[in-house]
A and B are shown apart, each in its own frame.
Chain A
């Protein structure tokens, strides 16, 4: 398993949002894309999952170029996304939201109980709320639900878009602990984050994006100590 993006260009109308980005995500890694607002991080994830059209370049997953494949088919290949803003179905119960994660799995009936148990084990809070409507959950619970739902599809690569957004510090630490835990079970993770501190602490490798370009690629721990990165993305570099 390997996800490779080669010289990707993506446009919003006439504006070029991604200007020739190449990245690689190897099996078992946590790779993070960090950068300021408008750097193109979310667009990258949306393009990988098929929500945005590729202008040129390739998205190679497991040796297959999927850049022209419709989004709903990419989910079947093992690309699973917890989207920006979480995308919880507000009128569905927590359980129904989780079941939606398996919508296209052939063996969904056989796998359902086992995978629900796994997700509930990871997020006991979701079990407590399983009958509650998704729209009534707190932000942190919704993020848990979004990640849990993505896991229901038994992903090979999990795409996480700003999981820390709008959450309290304690909940952020909690969510990142779980992300690390999920990775240890063998799920490869591509993580987009504004919270560079947390992201770099958890990831193996990182790419720094600026206005549609990759400006730096390195081991996450190296970037954490890089003065330029610290100044730009980790506050003033104090502590």
Chain B
């Protein structure tokens, strides 16, 4: 245990935790959106994220960046980053929508139980993981360094690295856009209406299936963005990346109160910071232990999460 590190590098760790938390928050939005509308934990969401990381890898290849290359500069760098981001978002969104249509929609229309749908979710998750294990020969893949990573400035002993600033700012923009979409747009209102009262929403003329598709699309876009931010920061991915990130993001959603968007954001940032602190004290090997412990504790002590609201109340 090394509390001295936590004390000395406190602000630096907090900053790193925020960057990690932004990624968790983006993924956990997908869990929470789908739960709000379907009352279902979409266990395939972690693989939606995993596919996003590989999409960035493919996009970097298309843009002609190689692992041994020097980082790009200027407009070329911005363009490459944007293409990777959009590729990841598109791939994850398409995956999410397809998963819904293939694995959930038909079960729902036959009036299957929640348990059947949950098992279907786990099945899809395992299939996608195994598919990517075969494609990648079980090996991790390296992501080329597109941008030169430099320290922008130091604040209170914390070195502020440019890529993490980008992650935090860009994630903030995404979250803001999603919040606007949910609260102001027609489909956003449809999503909220379905999550509060599906029957009445139908009477208002809401096409439930379309709203569900839009929900998965929105969750997929966020997970895809998270996937790009992840691979930009950590510069590698593998077929099992979804599992660990997914568990943390799911924990974040439960921590904030699943079904609640603000809760997912808060839970994501909080978990990111907590994991970074505890990794500094106990060592990074303990990271997964920390998330699982938090998950179990929240479920035992306050299953509705920190922003816990009863099912009947507003959640977005």
Residues of A whose CB lies within 8 Å of any CB of B are 49-51, 70-73, 75-76, 80-81, 83, 87-92, 96, 99-101, 103-104, 133, 135, 149, 153
Contact = CB atoms under 8 A, between A and B. Distances in A.
Contacts of A50: 202
B314 A100 contact: no
Contact of A89 (B196, B202, B208): B196
B34 interface: no
Interface residues of B, number: 22
Contacts, number: 75
A8 to B, nearest CB: 19
Nearest to A92: B192
B205 interface: yes
A89 B203 contact: no
Interface string B175-205: 0000000000010011011001101111111
A87 B206 CA distance: 14
Interface in B234-278: none
In the A-B complex, the 10 residue pairs with the closest CB atoms: A91-B314, A104-B205, A87-B200, A75-B205, A89-B196, A71-B202, A103-B204, A100-B204, A72-B207, A103-B205
Given A75-B203, A87-B203, A92 B193 contact: yes
Contacts of B207: 70, 72
B190 A90 contact: no
A234 B19 CA distance: 69
Given A91-B313, A96-B189, A83 B205 contact: no
17 contacts: A49-B203, A72-B204, A73-B205, A75-B203, A75-B204, A76-B205, A89-B192, A91-B196, A92-B189, A99-B189, A100-B193, A100-B204, A101-B204, A103-B186, A103-B193, A103-B205, A104-B204
A54 to B, nearest CB: 16
A163 B51 CA distance: 51
Contacts of B206: 72, 100, 103-104
A76 B203 CA distance: 10
Nearest to B210: A72
B200 A135 contact: no
B45 interface: no
A100 B189 contact: yes
Given A96-B189, A99-B189, A89 B197 contact: yes
A93 B182 CA distance: 14
A45 to B, nearest CB: 10
B93 interface: no
B312 interface: yes
Contacts of B189: 92, 96, 99-100, 103
A61 to B, nearest CB: 15
A192 B36 CA distance: 32
A90 B312 contact: yes
A89 B315 CA distance: 11
Nearest to A105: B205
B316 interface: yes
Nearest to A89: B196
A50 B199 CA distance: 10
B315 A83 contact: no
Contacts of A70: 207
A99 B186 CA distance: 10
B196 A72 contact: no
Nearest to B187: A103
